Amino acid sequence: MVQLIYCAGKNKRFSDIALAAGFQLGAQVPCTVYHDLWFCDQNWKRPNRAMYMTALKQYRPHMASVLDLEREDQLPEVLAWAEEAAKYVEHVMIIPKAHGIIQRLPRRIGGAAIILGYSVPTQHGGTSVWPGEFEGWPVHLLGGSPHAQMRHAARFRNAVSADGNMANKMATTWCAYWMPGTATNPKDRYWQKLERAAWPSDAPAEAFRRSCENIMQAWHLAHQRIEE
């Protein structure tokens, strides 16, 4: 079963809901958090190594990403980040975005196992590295919609975890919750709007709760189909 991670800090209410549904928690650190973190990430556009490593030392998560590997000449720097991060985590995530670089990566570094991060393509970005290059490696799915992540998990078959916060954004912005392709909203069959009038003070939290439960159930069903 793929480990699902709700990746957003600062919101204790939603973190409680995600944990109750079976998610682990992740956050882009440093950040205000209210529970133990399973996964730590950073602002990849503005990396700050010293600040990030201090946060990893504080939180000691199960897994943490490092500097994105966007070019071949970055490999020594990325591995240096990974070796330092390995002091504080069990799994270091390297995110390869350069073709042909995966074959040069170690399986372990500094006592920690290496896992590869695959950035699920969205309108905001993603990776152009062919999924076949990830074959034989444990893969973490970064971002994207729940249904896109499930499609990629079926494609990879070696996906071990996935993180995201789209359900959070849809709940707080549109008061919508995720459905497995059965929503009655004609514009998007994956997102069903919740009637705010029925939940006057708690509609976004209720929408998020329904998303978490539906997403978890859909992943369980997908896992059963893959095993069959």
| pLDDT attached to residue 195 | 83
For the segment 68-82, the average pLDDT, to the nearest whole number, is: 96
Q: Tell me the CB-side half-sphere exposure of residue 159, using CA atoms within 13 A.
A: 28
pLDDT in tens, 90-148: 999 999 999 999 999 999 999 999 999 999 987 666 788 888 899 999 999 999 999 99
For the segment 11-36, the average pLDDT, to the nearest whole number, is: 94
pLDDT band at 196 (very low <50, low <70, confident <90, very high): confident
Question: Residue 111, by phi and psi: left (phi above 0), alpha (psi -120 to 50) or beta?
Answer: left
Provide the CATH topology of domain 3-165: TIM Barrel (3.20.20)
Report CA torsion sign: 43, 163, 116, 155: negative
Q: Where are the domains of the chain?
A: 3-165
| pLDDT attached to residue 185 | 82
